[in-house]
């Protein structure tokens, strides 16, 4: 990447992570540029979710340095919003849609400081942007898969972050929800925000993303979609799994 380092929202140097004796990420170097939508692509077990958790400071790393806007994550937490995989969420939790979305305001609050009308207005705007304002009083367990995903993206919007880490946001959602998510992502990128999206549908990657990060425990390549999302580099990324992708229709040819 040739842009000035001032445009780097995330800088990763020599990141390595292990779970016990199993190495999950090895010597990752990345410079993530603001104002872009990145597809994070690789096979199961490639370390995509681990990369996100490393950036968020949720796991201990073996080696390397991660800077968010040239600061540690501890000093930049307000600027990073995380949308987890749907399987990581307890959908029986007795909370309404508005309760969940307002959680995006808590990082802005001091201890014992209450949610105010401004916070509620920001939450309503996030719900409107994702077309689910009419669901604000519903319990989250009563929603469809697509509606649930939109709620958690609305929570991330409510945080008013500069970086969005989205772990498989399109899994199990309907086409309307997928279109809403894409619309939101493009809007945020135009505002200069950074979006990293774990994604499995290779057929839609070149339509959805400006840049890609090809990952399989090590960094295979990253850069502009036109020069990086190539048959050769995808083959290196997926290895033997590529045959399965051909048969499933996730990749042409």
Residues 98-143 have pLDDT tens digits of: 999 999 999 898 888 899 999 999 999 999 999 999 999 999 889 9
Residue 191 belongs to some domain of the structure: yes
Question: Range of 106's domain?
Answer: 5-248
User: pLDDT tens for residues 203-236?
Assistant: 999 999 999 999 999 999 999 999 999 989 999 9
* Band (4; pLDDT cuts 50, 70, 90): very low
Residue 208 belongs to some domain of the structure: yes
Residue 253 belongs to some domain of the structure: no
Residue 127 belongs to some domain of the structure: yes
Residue 83 belongs to some domain of the structure: yes
Residue 207 belongs to some domain of the structure: yes
Residue 23 belongs to some domain of the structure: yes
Looking at residue 66, its pLDDT comes to: 97
Q: What is the CATH number of the domain that holds 146?
A: 3.40.50.300
* Gap between the Cα atoms of 166 and 116, Å rounded: 27
Residue 51 belongs to some domain of the structure: yes
Looking at residue 57, its pLDDT comes to: 94
Looking at residue 253, its pLDDT comes to: 43
* Gap between the Cα atoms of 14 and 91, Å rounded: 37
User: For the chain, how many structural domains are there in total?
Assistant: 1
* Gap between the Cα atoms of 211 and 179, Å rounded: 19
* Gap between the Cα atoms of 55 and 51, Å rounded: 6
* Band (172; pLDDT cuts 50, 70, 90): confident
Helices 117-129/145-158 angle, 10° precision: 140
């Amino acid at each position: 990447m040739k842009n000035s380092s001032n445009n780097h929202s995330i800088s990763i140097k020599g990141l390595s992570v292990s779970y016990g004796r199993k190495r999950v990420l090895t010597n990752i170097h990345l410079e993530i540029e603001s104002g872009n939508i990145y597809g994070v692509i690789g096979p199961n077990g490639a370390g995509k979710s681990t990369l996100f958790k490393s950036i968020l400071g949720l796991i201990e790393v073996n080696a390397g340095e991660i800077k968010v806007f040239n600061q540690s994550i501890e000093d930049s937490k307000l600027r990073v919003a995380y949308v987890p995989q749907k399987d990581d969420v307890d959908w029986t939790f007795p909370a309404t849609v508005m309760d969940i979305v307002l959680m995006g305001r808590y990082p802005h609050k001091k201890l014992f400081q209450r949610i105010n009308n401004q916070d509620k207005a920001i939450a309503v705007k996030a719900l409107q942007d994702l077309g689910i304002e009419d669901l604000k009083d519903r319990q989250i367990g009563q929603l469809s898969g697509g509606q649930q995903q939109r709620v958690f993206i609305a929570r991330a919007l409510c945080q008013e972050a500069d970086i969005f880490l989205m772990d498989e946001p399109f899994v199990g959602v309907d086409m309307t929800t997928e279109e809403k998510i894409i619309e939101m992502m493009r809007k945020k990128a135009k505002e200069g925000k950074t979006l990293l999206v774990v994604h499995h549908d290779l057929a839609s990657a070149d339509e959805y993303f400006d840049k890609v990060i090809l990952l399989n425990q090590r960094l295979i390549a990253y850069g502009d979609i036109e020069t990086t999302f190539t048959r050769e580099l995808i083959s290196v990324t997926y290895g033997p799994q590529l045959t399965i992708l051909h048969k499933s229709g996730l990749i042409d040819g």
